[in-house]
């Protein structure tokens, strides 16, 4: 089923999470807590992220539904796949202009300030809200998952796709939280070297998805809205 692709992307893409968001996770006030508190805090944090992703899936599922009705769904998937691959081959194309960077900083700074305030509380239960806010931070892997929600062409499927994506990132992120005392930032920098490979694989997947080749799970036939309209007009 297509929505479970979100879980797979989250599971394998969580290497990206370890490399990029690892330092943030290591800052959570859980390294010196008891086992039960650490487990609770880790679950609350990751569940908060998954809930935010699910809500984003609703929003972009609506967009995907509109693209499906206009027949642009496949082209969007192919275009995004090409862009993902180009960001690895030509990383400079993703450099933000000063104006865009200023806007991005203006949106994320209040978010980060609120997250810092939650960390200063040194308590477990605010970590659910911390996870909710964390899910709104700019992230290339999340953008890829959002594109999957758009390609789904459905509000429900888009929401489930994104929520399962969040759950897919949970195992590795949870292990990072639970064994934070054993994991150092220097190891996270090594993990970042795997990220370009994951991005290229995602790009290929989106291109194949858009090509509508009829390959189960990889490039299944997408239902064409125009074909459905033609069938209705014949009755």
Question: Could you give the number of structural domains in the chain?
Answer: 1
Of 29, 23, 56, give the one whose Cα is nearest residue 132.
56
Measured in whole angstroms, the distance separating CA 173 from the mean position of its chain's CA atoms is 13
Query: Which residues constitute the domain of residue 176?
Result: 4-234
Of 104, 107, 86, 84, give the one whose Cα is nearest residue 96.
104
pLDDT of res. 223: 56
Mind listing the pLDDT tens digit for each residue in 160-186? 999 999 999 988 888 877 666 556 555
Of 164, 216, 148, 171, give the one whose Cα is nearest residue 4.
164
Mind listing the pLDDT tens digit for each residue in 79-137? 888 888 887 887 665 555 566 567 677 778 888 899 999 988 888 889 999 999 999 98
Of 155, 164, 148, give the one whose Cα is nearest residue 61.
155
- The model carries a pTM of 0.79
Give the containing element (helix H, strand E) for 235.
none
Q: Using pLDDT thresholds of 50, 70 and 90, give the confidence band for residue 48.
A: very high
Between the alpha carbon of residue 123 and those of residues 87, 118, 129, 202, the distances in Å are 39, 8, 12, 37
């Amino acid at each position: 089923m297509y929505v479970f692709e979100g879980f797979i992307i989250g599971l394998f893409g969580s290497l990206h999470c370890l490399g990029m968001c690892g330092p943030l996770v290591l800052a959570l006030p859980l390294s010196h807590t008891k086992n039960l508190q650490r487990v609770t805090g880790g679950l609350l944090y990751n569940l908060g992220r998954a809930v935010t992703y699910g809500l984003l899936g609703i929003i972009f599922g609506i967009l995907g539904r509109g693209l499906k009705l206009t027949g642009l769904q496949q082209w969007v998937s192919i275009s995004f796949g090409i862009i993902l691959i180009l960001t690895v081959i030509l990383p400079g194309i993703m450099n933000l202009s000063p104006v865009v960077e200023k806007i991005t900083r203006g949106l994320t700074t209040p978010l980060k300030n609120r997250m810092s305030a939650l960390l200063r509380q040194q308590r477990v239960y605010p970590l659910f809200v911390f996870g909710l806010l964390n899910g709104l931070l700019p992230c290339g892997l999340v953008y890829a998952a959002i594109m999957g929600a758009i390609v789904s062409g459905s509000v429900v499927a888009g929401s489930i796709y994104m929520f399962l994506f969040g759950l897919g990132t949970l195992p590795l992120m949870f292990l990072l939280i639970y064994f934070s005392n054993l994991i150092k930032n220097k190891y996270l920098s090594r993990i970042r070297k795997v990220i370009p490979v994951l991005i290229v694989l995602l790009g290929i997947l989106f291109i194949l998805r858009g090509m509508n080749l009829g390959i189960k799970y990889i490039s299944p036939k997408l239902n064409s809205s125009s074909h459905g309209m033609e069938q209705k007009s014949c009755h």
